[in-house]
Structure 1
Amino acid sequence: MNPAASIVVPTRGGAKRLPVLLRALSLQDTDDFEVVVVVDGDIDGTARLLDSWSDRLPLRTIVFPENLGRSAALNAGADLASGEILIRSDDDLEPGFGFVRGHIAHHSHATGPIGVVGLTTNHYPDTPFARAYGRAADRRFIRDALRLPEHSTWRLWAANVSVSKIIHRNLGGYDSRYRRYGWEDVDFGYRLHAAGVRVVVAPDLMAIHHGASTTTAVRTVRALHSGSARETFVGIHGTQALPEPSAGGGAWGLIVGAGARFATTRTLRAYGAAVDTIAPFVPIKLAEKLIALGVESAGLAGAQRPERASEDF
């Protein structure tokens, strides 16, 4: 008998991250699920780690011989999955005991086909970035996400989501054209919305995110890459799907726009390191502004000059 749900986990270089997720999944309050982990090119012994968990979880593994991208990994996992509900979980999440049961319940109780978004809350070490910016930005994101009108919730499709296997197949899965950092998830959410599938935010499915953005340098460089990946989305769906980013008005907008002109991977790493060095010694509001300047300038630079961040992921 097939399980109710399949948890699809794409991973690359996840040998140190995965044990937290796998431990959380082994403690779920239901056993009506399987875990499908897709290793997108094994660069750190992830396959060996997964073998050591095979007697503790209903675990199946796919190992790509090389890096094919997150979309390819998600689609391969969905193709192998035997559950009716596909739950996407990134490899750096720590879900609660009712994670699987909750995702299944939202689909079972819905009056029609839906996509379900469980939000994530970041777990930060005690860094200057976390104290001055990260934790407050996290709280604002969750607050704003819970207030989004339903016609905009598709933008939240990300690391902790679920959809029926039938809908996933009908949409053609995740788009393999997304090889930069992110946006394959936003694209999938947009196509759900365009197909008339309601995207429901479920506060009860919050998961802890043990992410890599723990310093200003890492966060700004990721903002640059995310802004760059937006080019693929606009090339497919046009600017009518999502407004063009801008620096905004006023003095702050001018400063962000000026920062975007100079934002590259090299300059952002240097800027981030400098900000994290001085952040403990300046008023926290000033530190927050300096970090926000880097993040917003980087995102705008990526969107306006996507060639500055062209690496594949």
Structure 2
Amino acid sequence: MVLRGKTVFFSIVIPTYNRLPILAKCLRSLERQNHDDVAIEGYEVVLVDDGSTDGTLAWLEANAAEFPHVRSLLQDHQGPAAARNLGVERAKGDTIVFIDSDLVVTENFLQAHAQGLQQGREMYGSDRIFTYGRVINTCNFDNPTAEPYKITDFSAAYFATGNVAIPRHWLEKAGLFDTRFQLYGWEDLELGVRLKQLGLNLVKCPDAVGYHWHPAFNLEQIPNLIDKEIQRGRMGVLFYQKHPTWEVRMMIQMTWIHRLLWGILSLGGQLNERTLAPVLRWLINQGKPQLAEQVARIFLNWYNVQGVYEEYALMKPRTE
């Protein structure tokens, strides 16, 4: 157990799959950490390559001198849950930080997490806590940290692996990530349910800032986004199988409320990627890709809800 007044050693666990250009920025930002805080003993970066085909590990080997904190691991393509588990199992630190490989952090990122953990221990009188930093979405590849915080960046998630720090032994007690979540979505929030059952308290840490980069929205992305929503629906049903509660149903949008809401907003699916394409294209041409992406959420959420109920209908005969 990490007690007040004792130092922490951070292991930053990062799964990656074919993200080399933004991964390079992510790793460089982690090498620039200010960790003069006496609470930080040191840190390492445990990068788990989930079977990338873009030369990630070869590039890292060729540039190893630039990244003294990085240790790299390789696994066959099994998804982020298995990759994070491998990272935790091989980590040396007593405190695990999870970020994604498309996140660029500020120089006081680790220091802010260390201070948040110490404040949490003082507040709750134990280390039954984890810190949750701020994630700001940006499509500015050249200078991602220039993006201001926006209302759309707000997250009400209890535990999400985009930017968290947690004592390692609580992850191990909870059982790490469920590797059955091999498609897109929910593996981190499902672990969060188990951490909440162990009584862990969330400590918000807004000074631990990460900038989540993704390319500006365009019409070519839509088929992949639709596929992700369908995958997220399928994984949502697995989430519900494990935790059959109303709270989880609300999270995965498996309620009559969501079915009615997105059914009305999408006119029963008539407002879709084909019928809304002219509007989306116009917004993009007007320099408003973020607004276009929000409009696209109308049919993306409809696909998600449809995916949830289709998978649930398939699940019932299997369970019976």
TM-score interval, normalised by the smaller of the two chains: 0.7 to 0.9
Which of 278, 283, 288 pairs up with 2:282?
Answer: 278
User: Contact conserved, 1:3 with 1:82, CA < 8 A, in 2?
Assistant: no
Which of 6, 17, 20 pairs up with 1:12?
Answer: 17
Deviation at 1:275, TM superposition (A): 4.3
Partners of 1:45 and 1:289 lie apart in 2 by: 33
- Can you give the 5+ residue segments of structure 2 that lack an aligned partner in the other structure? 1-6, 36-40, 142-146, 313-320
Task: Check if 1:230 corresponds to 2:236.
Answer: yes
Matches within 5 A, 1:197-216: 197-212=200-215, 214-215=217-218
- One-letter amino acid matched to 2:180: R
User: Contact conserved, 2:103 with 2:212, CA < 8 A, in 1?
Assistant: yes
Partners of 2:30 and 2:14 lie apart in 1 by: 12
- One-letter amino acid matched to 1:35: V
More displaced stretch, 82-91 vs 12-21 = 12-21
* Match of residue 76 from structure 1: 86
Partners of 1:18 and 1:187 lie apart in 2 by: 26
- One-letter amino acid matched to 2:113: H
Partners of 1:68 and 1:22 lie apart in 2 by: 22
Instruction: Specify the SS of the correspondent of 1:60.
Output: strand
After superposition, the Cα gap between the structure-2 partners of 1:251 and 1:76, relative to the gap in structure 1 and judged at 3 Å, is: closer
More displaced stretch, 29-38 vs 180-189 = 29-38
User: Contact conserved, 1:115 with 1:192, CA < 8 A, in 2?
Assistant: no
Partners of 1:172 and 1:74 lie apart in 2 by: 12
Normalised by the length of structure 2, the TM-score is 0.76
User: Contact conserved, 2:263 with 2:302, CA < 8 A, in 1?
Assistant: no
Partners of 1:191 and 1:257 lie apart in 2 by: 37
Task: Check if 1:59 corresponds to 2:73.
Answer: no
Normalised by the length of structure 1, the TM-score is 0.78
Partners of 1:272 and 1:221 lie apart in 2 by: 18
Sequence identity of aligned pairs in percent? 24
Kindly provide the CA deviation profile for residues 45-82 of structure 1, in whole angstroms up to 9, marking residues without a partner as x: 11112213432322111111x21221111011001111
Deviation at 1:23, TM superposition (A): 1.0
Instruction: Specify the SS of the correspondent of 1:117.
Output: strand
* Match of residue 177 from structure 2: 174
Which of 131, 144, 166 pairs up with 1:116?
Answer: 131
Task: Check if 1:254 corresponds to 2:259.
Answer: no
Instruction: Specify the SS of the correspondent of 1:209.
Output: strand
Matches within 5 A, 1:263-302: 268=273, 270=274, 274-280=278-284, 290-302=295-307
**RMSD over equivalenced CA pairs, Å:** 3.3
User: Contact conserved, 2:217 with 2:293, CA < 8 A, in 1?
Assistant: no
Partners of 1:219 and 1:175 lie apart in 2 by: 24
